[in-house]
Amino acid sequence: MKLLDGIRVLDLTNVLAGPFATLHLALAGAEVIKIENPIDGDLARKLGIVTEYNKKLMGTSFLAQNANKKSLTLNMKFEEGKEIFRKIIKTADVIVENFRPGVMARLGFSYEKLCEINPKIIYCAISGFGQTGPDAFKPAYDQIIQGLSGVMAVNGDERLNPLRAGFPVCDTIGGVNAAFAIMGALYFREKTGEGQCIDVAMLDSIMPYMGWVAANLLIGGQQPALMGNDNFTAAPSGTFSTKDGYINIAANKQEQWHDLCDILGVSDLKGDPRFKERDTRKKNRKELTPLIEEKLKEKETKYWAEVLNAKGIPSGEILSLEEALNQPQIKHRETLKTINTPGIGDIPLFNLTAKFNKTTAEVETPPPTLGQHTEQLLSEFGYSDEEMKSFKEKGIV
């Protein structure tokens, strides 16, 4: 069996944070039914770098987040659409949505109403700021949350700041947080028989991920320093120049520092008062870095990475995204799986990256075309061919 065998999730989400949450549930084996508007579905269907795919409503942004899901089109502005949704709710375990607060209530499906239909339902609402509070009704995208969370303020250096992360980190972290919360709520329901409402905010979700930086300020009273590619916890720890490029080195332990000095042929630095102790090295990193780079520039990055790692000093090349995706370790771990997608061809998609020794959690079916499973699902819910034809004519599905 799979981790979430027998769990049915109704996915009313769009674009990224919500679909990323339900993707994790789908990869873990839940039946995720993506409920989309009949006209053009999830906005992500039109987002991506390949115009041809966008026109097919299968944009790369959609493909990345929606494997293993089913697509049911449904217009809940019609009473017939609402009735179909009520029937589906009775069979569901989880509902996930990422509308602005209040939208579901206006449709007639507040958490209280959903509980009347299905008392054991787990309802997860994902939004930028949460369902309550002074900012609850403000619109939010990842870029906005990166700015409001302090993420952009702690990135970069004195030459480039503020600086956003190079991918939508707040959206994806919000999705992971929601998936984690839903799994916890499912476990709670298993023990008690009770469902519950989950309120996930992207702003809340990203803040704890800055734990060490935040703790230095909240507990130690130290403002974050703009250190670019240097690691504030230790020295030498960061990015350094080599003969042919750059290398990351994290000599965070005292013995690693000593070994690094010996390998580079600068053993005298171990006794230098500026560098002898961890905290003094951190204060004098600007003097230390040129001394290390002078030696590192004598050989190529690959050489140093092999030599340093062999001695137990964490180090590594700085790969391009393409190199990273194709490195042997990623292939060995089967982080990506190629799946044939009708109308597009073979595409690589990410599996669930946690590895379980008793259950599979991987891509099994391609992202669905818009409404691909509508007839199949409506038939399961007891609707006749004549009723489905009528729904299509009215624009309900």
Strand 122-127 and strand 345-350: the pairing is: unpaired
Q: Give the separation between CA 8 and CA 87, rounded to whole angstroms.
A: 13
Q: What is the pLDDT of residue 361?
A: 92
Which CATH number is associated with domain 8-209+332-394? 3.40.50.10540
Whole-angstrom Cα Rg for the chain? 26
Listed by start position, the domains of the chain span 8-209+332-394, 237-319
Instruction: Average the pLDDT over 12-35 and give the result.
Output: 98
Select which of 11, 42, 171, 230 is catalytic.
171
Q: Which CA distances in Å does 123 have to 162, 183, 228?
A: 36, 12, 41
Q: What is the pLDDT of residue 239?
A: 97
Q: Are 370 and 40 in contact (CB under 8 A)?
A: yes
**Helix, coil or strand: residue 349:** strand
Q: What is the pLDDT of residue 67?
A: 98
Residue written as token pair 């818009």? 370
Q: What is the pLDDT of residue 351?
A: 96
User: Domain 237-319 is of which CATH architecture?
Assistant: 2-Layer Sandwich (3.30)
Q: What band does 393 get if pLDDT is binned at 50, 70 and 90? A: very high
Helices and strands, counts by H and E, the chain? 19, 11
Q: Is 171 a catalytic residue?
A: yes
Query: How much is the mean pLDDT over the chain?
Result: 96
Question: Tens of pLDDT along 87-129?
Answer: 999 999 999 999 999 999 999 999 999 999 999 999 999 999 9
Q: What is the pLDDT of residue 374?
A: 97
Instruction: Average the pLDDT over 348-354 and give the result.
Output: 96
